[in-house]
Amino acid sequence: MTAYACVGQPLPKADGIEKITGRTVYMHDFKLPGMLHGRIKFADRVSARIVSIDTSEAERVPGVRAVITAHNTPEVRFGFLKDNTALKKDRVRQYRDEIAAVAATTPEAAEEAVRKIRVVYEDLPAVFDPEEALGPDAPLVHEADPRGKPLEDNRLRLPWKVEAGDLEQGEAAAVHVAEGEYDVGWVTHCCMGTSGCVAVFDGRGDLTVYSNTQIPSLAKTDFQEALKAMGVRGRVRVVNAAIGGGFGSKLDTYAYEYIAILLAHRTRRPVKVEFDREEEFVATSPRQPARIRVRQGCDADGRLTFRHISMVLDNGAYTSWGATTPTVMMMPATSLYRVPNVRFEATCVYTNNTYCQAMRGYGTPQVTFAIETNLDELADKAGLDPYEMRLRNANEPGETTPQGFEVTTCGHRECLEAVAERLDWAGKRGQGEGGGRKRRGVGMACLLHVGGGAKIYKSDGCGTLIKMDDQGYVDVFSGSMDIGQGLDTVLRQIVAETLGIGTDRVNVIVGDTDVCPWDVGVHASRSTFVAGNAALGAARMIRDQILAFAEQLTEAPREILDLRDGQVVCQEDPSKNLPLEKLLYKAHFAKTGNTMFMASHFYEPDTRLLAGDFKGNYSGTYTWGCHGVEVEVDVDTGHVEIVRYVAAHDVGRAINPLLLKGQVYGAVLMGIGYALTEEMIFEQGRLRNANFRDYKILTARDAVPVETVIVETDDPAGPFGAKGIGEPGLVPTAPAIANAIYDAVGVRLHTLPMKPEVVLRALLDRDGGPGPA
């Protein structure tokens, strides 16, 4: 592959020093003059009729400037199915429903006022189990859709179904079949920065929302709609404060944002709503729990002949964008490994649980846990080494998968091989049973993810504006966002490389809808690929403008001119080389020039919106990975220790290996938490462990070394060959560990997290007794 000056360099994050020296302005540091503090009164009931809301006492708290309810504000609907409202009027459907809100001059006054709001409820029947919720006698979470049409059951009218090949034929051709049911529960993003926003109207009625959203452009449209509902004629601007973690939690607008808008409009003052840690746990939306049934089979050689996946997802009480995760779950379901005959169907169900949302991996961690654990079971049945089984079915460059994904580059096999080699698979596999009370085992699991965006919205594009000043300083305005993943640095590298200048000359501006062009949002690991291509396209225009001008100045043909090291380089005649600054000066100031270099570019991947039959090429490229892990299981306690962890990823090209490894490392740790410790414990719809300790988030002490293997496949569609890599590191972690536990102690675990009591229970169940003597 071509070697580059900036691309491929392990540069530290451009905003790193600001962050470690505490100068970054996060939402919690963000203040505006005259700003009020908003606070929300949550229902704390799971299903009830709201009989009355008495705010009179709250209004008398000194410092209170407004108390709003659904009764004194316009109805603002939001969410993917518009089944949610900013403030609830008659009915509570989940314990975190927003009943009222206060704006006051201090957070303390706001809190006191919220405490003084008196709500009278009349409890209604509730349902918490999605399969129960599908039953004929289940209480309805919503009696009607947002248009008033009565609903007959709790099943969401969402079309998540795809089928390819002939399932029956695939079943018939199978010699070995594995079938299982896999249960995954709620986990949440645990962003270090809790959610919050500041809303403010200016004198013209234009609204600015300072928010840590991951979707500034879509949020702008949502807020614009809210203004319409409020009867306010004004523009909307969304500005991002620095985000202390996104991970999908901010991929939709939330009630608190509309509440801040309503309070700001009512008080004509800036209003900030920010969550404390408990509210963050309680009032933001976690990853969906799912019950996933997998049935897959292979022929005598271990080649997959079919796969059938069906699942029920607990949607909770309202529908966010996260309800579309099955569109992405389909991907590994149909296309991880070569499987000719596939069927996937997902049912989303309203319950009185907390409503769910996107989270890193967007459904694929759930479904990959099921597929990859089940595949190990199938290998077992077929008498094949799971590694060998995976190799035989590995995806290949050039294939079109049953769902219609066009695979260009594919490093699936290389990732498998790298993991097997690094982990000494052959030497370690199947040795676990030998030892004493602590048994070791190895396991692996693979992943398929979008690496070039994911067209699950009408546009998957990103706009970029770029300008270069007459001294060679460049500003790039990207619609995308740096949410900590390092996009800022990656775009600097892409643009600097294209223009032959140092990255210190490039400035990246993101997170302001007034300044930055449209982008669908930071999701689907799309930013390096889509925003990278958008920036690359814009930078190439500048490059072309410069070289066209250089052609005039040097009288050398365009084809032999290049930009390198801050110079126009004439490849055949170095005496014609020209410092870029000299050219820029002439372009701007000479009579011949009088121009400055600026460009705009909107990059839309050439992909198909995944809808209807859900077939077609919906990403610009795809990425594979394989994780291998060696664990040590304490058979007395059920405690699982990670001994070694290898993560191999097909990244296309590493624009910045340092940040890339950071992404993989962070994702793997998140994956280990998902696998072994993290869970939200709900009882009758109420969260019982709304803090880090009881939630059991991994801490620095739990961090394990992760060996990252970067497999570069130089994707022709990626910017300098790159694919997206933000989420994949989290996807195969849980099944790799589950498979390693099996190798170590011989028990198959079908639920997450695989906490000590679960492992121990499985050991005891298998060994037929209530614990060892």
Question: Which residues are at the interface with its own copies (CB under 8 A)?
Answer: 14-18, 21, 23, 25, 29, 33-34, 202-204, 206, 217, 220-221, 224, 233-235, 237, 458-459, 461, 463, 465, 467, 469-471, 473, 475, 477, 504-505, 507, 509, 513-515, 517-518, 588-589, 594-596, 598-602, 604
126 Cβ contact partners less than 8 Å away, ≥ 6 residues apart: 46, 47, 139, 352, 684, 685
Which phi and psi (to 5°) does residue 729 adopt? -60, -15
Residue number, 157 or 458, with CB nearest to its own copies: 458
The contacts found for 121-125 with CB under 8 angstroms, 24 or more apart, are: 121/43, 121/45, 121/48, 121/49, 121/50, 121/51, 121/92, 122/48, 122/49, 122/51, 123/45, 123/47, 123/48, 124/47, 124/48, 124/49, 124/91, 125/47
* H/E stretch holding 538: helix 532-554
Smallest distance, Å, CB 486 to its own copies?
A: 14
Taking the least distance from each CB to its own copies, the nearer of 480 and 733 is 480
Nearer to its own copies (CB atom), residue 202 or residue 396: 202
Q: Which is nearer to its own copies, 540 or 696 (CB)?
A: 540
Q: Among the residues of 205-301, which ranges form H helices? A: 216-230, 255-267, 277-283
Pick from 712, 624, 698, 708: which is nearest to 665 by CA? 708
Between residues 17 and 51, which has the closer beta carbon with respect to its own copies? 17
Nearest to 186 by CA among 681, 618, 632: 681
DSSP-derived 3-state class of residue 450? strand
Sequence letter at residue 230: M
State in angstroms the smallest separation of the CB of 602 from its own copies. 5
Nearer to its own copies, 340 or 479 (CB): 479
CB of 61 to its own copies, least distance (A): 26
To its own copies, the closest distance from the beta carbon of 460 in angstroms equals 9
Cross-strand bridge partners of residue 313: 290, 348
Residue 700 C-beta: closest distance to its own copies, Å: 23
**Beta strand residue intervals within 325-468, DSSP E:** 341-350, 438-450, 462-468
Query: Taking the complex as a whole, how short is the minimal distance between the CB of residue 33 and its own copies, in angstroms?
Result: 7
For tokens 């869970």, name the residue.
679
Q: Which is nearer to its own copies, 515 or 643 (CB)?
A: 515
User: Residue 125 CB, nearest distance to its own copies (Å)?
Assistant: 42
Q: In which element (H, E) is residue 665 found?
A: helix 657-672
**Residue of 644, 646, 642, 640 whose CA lies nearest to 628:** 646
Is the Cβ of residue 60 or residue 233 nearer to its own copies in the bound state?
233
For the bound state, the minimum distance from the C-beta of residue 578 to its own copies, rounded and expressed in Å, comes to: 19
Can you tell me the distance from the alpha carbon of 463 to that of 333, in angstroms, rounded to the nearest whole number? 32
Kindly state the smallest distance separating residue 663's Cβ from its own copies, in Å: 22
664 closest CA partner among 685, 652, 678, 649: 649
d(CA 598, CA 469): 9
Q: Is the CB of 105 or the CB of 507 nearer to its own copies?
A: 507
Whole-angstrom Cα distance, residue 464 to residue 539?
9
